[in-house]
Structure 1
Amino acid sequence: MDKSEANRDGTGSLLKKVFSRYEFLRSGLLIRLFKENFRQQAHLYVAAIVAMLVVAGATAASAWIIAEIVNGMLVTPDLAYASLIAGTVATIFIVKGVATYTQTYFLSRAGNRIIAEKQREIFRKIVHSDMHFIQTHVSSELLVRITRSAQAARSVIDTIVVSFVRDLFTIVGLIAVMFVQQPVMSLIVFVAGPLALLGMRWLLAKVRRIMEKEIASTTDIIRLIQETTSGFRVVKAYSLEPQLEATLDRAVANVERRSNAIARIEAATSPLMETLGGLAIAAVIALGAVLVLDYGNTPGELASFLTAFLLAYEPAKRLARMRVSIESGMVGVRMLFQIIDHPVALTERPDAITLPHGPNAIEFDHVHFAYRDDQPVLRDLTVLFPAGKTTAIVGPSGSGKSTIINLMMRLFDPDSGEVRIDGTDIRRVTFNSLRERIAYVGQDAFLFSGSIRYNIAAGKPGASDAEIEAAARDANAHEFITAMPQGYDSDVGENGGRLSGGQKQRIAIARAFLKDSPILILDEATSALDSEAEAAIRDALARLTAAKTTIIIAHRLSTVMEADNFIVLQNGEIVEQGDPKVLLKNQGLLRKLYDHQILPDL
């Protein structure tokens, strides 16, 4: 092996040691973070870095000028020279002030843009993900990641940029001043540096684990608050206040304990540096006195050295704590990329086509589906939902009714078999063209925060007030809406919390009516309505489902007895199918469900 090869091997070995010691380098997350964010904001960071270099130079110059001040005013007094020095000092600090402002401004702009972009990226990931992603990530966890993780990305970049540019170059400049003015004393100071680094190593091992546990506890707090507000009636009905308070107390105590642990670790760096710094200062003062009194050094050189040494203390302390800050921030960065990199199981084909126009018949052809491999929900299901007809899907809970709807809307793909609309496999078409054909109302009517008008108009963005009002009338909602203080501009509250269950359901139905899609899916859509409202909705449905392919899921058979066709499911298989009046004459599952609900004979 020649010398060059040995040098390369030695360098490679050194890099491996560095990367193995610093987990955030070994994982490649830090490189990726800079690659994806620093380049986009390069013009802002370049401006901030230039300003930081000016600040570093001005700081070094302010230490250097001390020698001239002391010598020019005390050793060889000269009024003209003193005036020149005064002007120089003023210039140095004016330049430093302008540069500090520039650095702070551009660094903040770049950081704020990174937070905004990462929050947008996480939200895009959420809204374009599949149901599996939503089912495996609770909302409180996503909330923490979209806020703290984005902030962590900015924090890590800011820490590295500031430390490696402003602080590092400030220290380099000040060290240069120290060595020029007092080389012997400078060597003494640097004995304390390695000792400080040794003291830092044991502080870092705990930081990452503590931060991960702290974030998990914060997630628990957010989840508990969400559940408490969403299930407030249940909390009151079952007097759950003491249990919830105890749960929150434990979660808050965990966050507090771990925050204190982080604070304790971070705080330990300051006394460590201060103790070593104090010892170094004592040694410098003692040696400086000897050098000035016995070896002819000027007071200005000593004063300049001391000034540079003291000015170097704060940036050196920040550099010493940099790894702690980076390790803490990288926990959030890791969580950020876990969300961004989460694979999307349900994707649109690159060659996806627009769903061709047709009568909108829906067909399941030997469809098999399971949420878990060992628990099939649909078993070799073959069925046709005729175009322009209303088909009711009934059956006991867990029979696969909602799964059929999920597959129609392509929230999941079948494990085998095909779901087709007018003969076209829906996996071959674009998401937009598929979902433009479908209007949906679920059993849990979801409303967005905002006005009633906004929630209805979600079915057809840009709809006129007349169209919105017509949809509300069709859904039997216009009367109660106009009775509210602000009418259609009334705020529904979080998830419609200011409305009754029946009112929420009718607004959701109005939204679907406004969309006026050729395929209408109603999943327990009238479950929250009283008898009078339900009768009005049935009349509206009879008008609005004309010539539409309508699929209705209902446990209450009274809401679907006018359907053209019944599909009766049990354990993921069709056990009965046909005209409901004919099926009721048999002694099958539909008849049992019918008798169980004590409905009058037709």
Structure 2
Amino acid sequence: MASLLKNWLPAFTKSARDNSLLWRLLRDSIPEHKNRYLLAVMAMIVVALTTASTAWLMGEIVDSMNDADNRARVYWVAAAVALTFMFKGLASFAQAVLMARAGNRIVAEKQTTLYNRLLKQGVGFFSTTESSDILMRVTNSAQRARSVIDVIVTSVVRDSLTLIGLIAVMVYQQPVLSLVSLVVGPVAMFGVQKILARVREVMKQELKSIAEIIKVVQETATGVRVIKTFSLEGVMSDRMDQAVRNVEKRNNKIVRLENATAPLMDTITGLAIASVVVLSSVSLFGGQPASPGQLMSFVTAFLMAYEPAKRLMRMRVTIEHGMAGVRMMFELLDKPITLLEAENPVELPDGPGHVKFDKVGFSYTDGKSIIRDMTLDFPAGKTTALVGPSGGGKSTILNLILRLYDPQEGTIQIDGVDIKTASFASLREKISYVGQDTFLFSNTVAENIRIARPDATDEEVVEAARVAHADEFIRDLPNGYETKIGENGAFLSGGQRQRLAIARAVLKEAPILVLDEATSALDANSEALVKSALERVTEGRTTIVVAHRLSTVIHADQICYLEDGRVVERGTRDELLAKGEKFKDLYEMQLLD
């Protein structure tokens, strides 16, 4: 079937690139579901044959009614009509079910493939791609791909064969009238060509408007406090109204364009039928006038050919409608992976967690250097604090250790192994992370802690919560550890969410702990509890802390003051204070005041 469809592809779109994408879509989708599609094709063939037979039988019905004394013929025609419609109904049912099942499976597979592709992307991809655009591509484009496949398969098989069968009946019954009826067909094709150019541009704009609707809804859900506080309801309502109106406007355009072939086809059909009526009353080329049955069979076949012919005329418009989604889908699938695992990755050894930067240089996509020729040692089992002004590269260092980005220069080693050569699994197993913006899943408390180690027992989960000073408030929740905490922990306070994040780090038992402003957004009471939890968690672990509040890191084994992507001071608190430079200024500004 794929070979048959490939031969048809050049007629489907005006763009060579779109033809290539169509062939790729069919090649990737149909072979895996060939059994269902083959059965659906067989059902379509039955539908096409029974549709042509219906037109043929109309002539037999009329002639048998004029020959009522021939009972055998009447019974034969009646039985043929009943069987024809029965087989057509069963075949139509089978075709619809098989196509739907294959199409639904393709949608599910495409969405899964798209999502898995997203999971392989690095953080840099998500930093430069709007989430509304991603949602549009994952949800809408898979549905559009399925609609394109359905249109192609049904048009190539059912509509084409049905039209061929009906034309054969017409030609057999009335060759001359058939020629007159079909000579005007090419006129319709000219009209369809004019419509296609408009469809593509309208579809591009429609998908952008749908993405804007998704964006507005997302921003409303996540920023509702800001919207309420600054009385932005009117602004957001206007944005949504504009986006919805744009989608409505373009949907109306698409409907108009898709149905523009209808008046063209209706006009051609009317003219053809009028010609048939006139010509049937005279004998052509001196031949015998047609019998009533022949004329009825011809007219029935002609009228029944109208619908498949109209669908075939609209096919390219419908495909162009869906191709916008197909292009979006393959654009996402073909996006280069921004962070690749080594071709033959090694497993990190069971070492103490010694982290080392060796002449590391890094910049984001804008090319501005964030880290410059940095050589820095994070001793195993010790706490290293990174402090300094914003933009100095502190959070970037953590991102590089977590391998959310790769440096352009130098190497980052853990226990003597370059993390670029390590497997993602062994690297992630080696590191725990607690950030300022704690992310929690819309699940139970227990499951949010257990994601650190899915095989952990209930007792281990509870013990991790105790270490993180979270057990007490968890037991006060309506269902304890089985309480659903809402989207991103909406039903918990900031301190409670942070302590759950620490409990995850405790449960993971990784030798390296990365803390990114873990207490900066907390009140004094919550900060005290979190600090107490962190003191227990960091004991004996290689801990790397980013902090603006020096009160949380003054007892660190090593403090590094970063500025403009470089380490300008390094040492213990007392050593840096004795040095009397930038750290001392920051210390006096924060603590002595």
TM surpasses 0.5: yes
Query: Which whole-Å CA distance do the structure 2 matches of 1:445 and 1:67 have between them?
Result: 76
- Of 531, 536, 543, which aligns to 2:524? 531
Q: Is the 8 A contact 2:54 2:84 kept in 1?
A: yes
Deviations along 1:321-345, whole A, 9 cap, x unmatched? 0000111111100100000010013
Query: Which whole-Å CA distance do the structure 2 matches of 1:223 and 1:17 have between them?
Result: 35
For residue 323 of structure 2, what is the aligned residue in structure 1?
330
- Structure 1 SS opposite 2:440: coil
- Of 515, 523, 526, which aligns to 1:522? 515
- Structure 2 SS opposite 1:380: strand
Deviations along 1:431-455, whole A, 9 cap, x unmatched? 1001100011111001111111111
Q: Is the 8 A contact 1:505 1:528 kept in 2?
A: no
Shift of 1:188: 1.2
**1:554-565 equivalence runs, <5 A:** 554-565=547-558
For residue 378 of structure 1, what is the aligned residue in structure 2?
371
- Using a 3 Å threshold, how does the CA distance of structure 1 residues 481 and 371 change in structure 2: closer, same or farther? same
The AA in structure 2 aligned to 1:54 is V
For the aligned residues, what is the CA RMSD?
A: 1.9
**1:290-309 equivalence runs, <5 A:** 290-291=282-283, 295-309=288-302
Shift of 1:80: 2.5
Query: Which whole-Å CA distance do the structure 1 matches of 2:507 and 2:165 have between them?
Result: 69
Query: Which whole-Å CA distance do the structure 1 matches of 2:367 and 2:289 have between them?
Result: 89
For residue 279 of structure 2, what is the aligned residue in structure 1?
287
Shift of 1:26: 5.5
**Is 1:153 matched up with 2:181?**
no
Shift of 1:76: 5.5
Which stretch shifts more, 391-400 or 539-548? 539-548
Q: Is the 8 A contact 2:51 2:166 kept in 1?
A: yes
Q: Is the 8 A contact 2:495 2:530 kept in 1?
A: no
- Of 37, 46, 67, which aligns to 2:29? 37
- Of 566, 573, 577, which aligns to 1:573? 566
Aligned residues: 586
Which stretch shifts more, 324-333 or 351-360? 351-360
Q: Is the 8 A contact 1:518 1:548 kept in 2?
A: yes
Shift of 1:155: 0.7
Query: Which whole-Å CA distance do the structure 1 matches of 2:195 and 2:61 have between them?
Result: 42
The AA in structure 2 aligned to 1:394 is V
- Of 411, 418, 426, which aligns to 1:425? 418
TM-score (norm 2): 0.96
Query: Which whole-Å CA distance do the structure 2 matches of 1:272 and 1:19 have between them?
Result: 20
For residue 545 of structure 1, what is the aligned residue in structure 2?
538
For residue 95 of structure 2, what is the aligned residue in structure 1?
103
Shift of 1:97: 1.1
- Structure 2 SS opposite 1:575: strand
For structure 2, the 5+ residue unaligned runs are 1-6
Query: Which whole-Å CA distance do the structure 2 matches of 1:17 and 1:122 have between them?
Result: 25
For residue 258 of structure 1, what is the aligned residue in structure 2?
250
Q: Is the 8 A contact 1:118 1:150 kept in 2?
A: yes
- Using a 3 Å threshold, how does the CA distance of structure 1 residues 37 and 16 change in structure 2: closer, same or farther? closer
For residue 68 of structure 1, what is the aligned residue in structure 2?
60
- Structure 2 SS opposite 1:206: helix
Shift of 1:16: 14
TM-score (norm 1): 0.94
Query: Which whole-Å CA distance do the structure 2 matches of 1:235 and 1:289 have between them?
Result: 76
- Structure 2 SS opposite 1:510: helix
Consecutive aligned runs of 4 or more in structure 1 exceeding 4 Å deviation: 15-21, 24-27, 291-294
Query: Which whole-Å CA distance do the structure 1 matches of 2:224 and 2:460 have between them?
Result: 35
Percent sequence identity is: 49
- Using a 3 Å threshold, how does the CA distance of structure 1 residues 60 and 279 change in structure 2: closer, same or farther? same
**Is 1:393 matched up with 2:386?**
yes
Query: Which whole-Å CA distance do the structure 1 matches of 2:402 and 2:62 have between them?
Result: 81
For residue 12 of structure 1, what is the aligned residue in structure 2?
none
Q: Is the 8 A contact 1:400 1:571 kept in 2?
A: yes
**1:398-413 equivalence runs, <5 A:** 398-413=391-406
Query: Which whole-Å CA distance do the structure 2 matches of 1:490 and 1:479 have between them?
Result: 14
The AA in structure 2 aligned to 1:309 is F
- Using a 3 Å threshold, how does the CA distance of structure 1 residues 506 and 594 change in structure 2: closer, same or farther? same
For residue 4 of structure 2, what is the aligned residue in structure 1?
none
Query: Which whole-Å CA distance do the structure 2 matches of 1:66 and 1:77 have between them?
Result: 18
- Of 257, 263, 269, which aligns to 1:271? 263
- Structure 2 SS opposite 1:205: helix
**Is 1:182 matched up with 2:205?**
no
Deviations along 1:175-220, whole A, 9 cap, x unmatched? 0000001111111111221111111111110101110111011111
Query: Which whole-Å CA distance do the structure 2 matches of 1:481 and 1:16 have between them?
Result: 63
Q: Is the 8 A contact 1:399 1:572 kept in 2?
A: yes
The AA in structure 1 aligned to 2:272 is A
The AA in structure 2 aligned to 1:412 is Y
- Structure 1 SS opposite 2:64: helix
- Using a 3 Å threshold, how does the CA distance of structure 1 residues 569 and 50 change in structure 2: closer, same or farther? same
For residue 507 of structure 1, what is the aligned residue in structure 2?
500
Deviations along 1:20-53, whole A, 9 cap, x unmatched? 9711565510111111111111111111011101
For structure 1, the 5+ residue unaligned runs are 1-14
Shift of 1:530: 2.3
For residue 458 of structure 1, what is the aligned residue in structure 2?
451
**1:334-353 equivalence runs, <5 A:** 334-353=327-346
Query: Which whole-Å CA distance do the structure 2 matches of 1:411 and 1:277 have between them?
Result: 63
Shift of 1:19: 7.5
Query: Which whole-Å CA distance do the structure 1 matches of 2:410 and 2:456 have between them?
Result: 38
Shift of 1:376: 0.3
- Of 222, 231, 238, which aligns to 2:223? 231
For residue 498 of structure 1, what is the aligned residue in structure 2?
491
Query: Which whole-Å CA distance do the structure 1 matches of 2:118 and 2:13 have between them?
Result: 34
Shift of 1:553: 0.8
Query: Which whole-Å CA distance do the structure 2 matches of 1:20 and 1:57 have between them?
Result: 25
Deviations along 1:387-412, whole A, 9 cap, x unmatched? 00111111111110111011101111
Query: Which whole-Å CA distance do the structure 2 matches of 1:77 and 1:310 have between them?
Result: 30
Q: Is the 8 A contact 1:449 1:496 kept in 2?
A: yes
Query: Which whole-Å CA distance do the structure 2 matches of 1:222 and 1:237 have between them?
Result: 22
Query: Which whole-Å CA distance do the structure 2 matches of 1:159 and 1:61 have between them?
Result: 24
Query: Which whole-Å CA distance do the structure 2 matches of 1:72 and 1:25 have between them?
Result: 55
For residue 160 of structure 2, what is the aligned residue in structure 1?
168
Query: Which whole-Å CA distance do the structure 2 matches of 1:263 and 1:232 have between them?
Result: 36
- Structure 2 SS opposite 1:420: strand
Shift of 1:532: 2.2
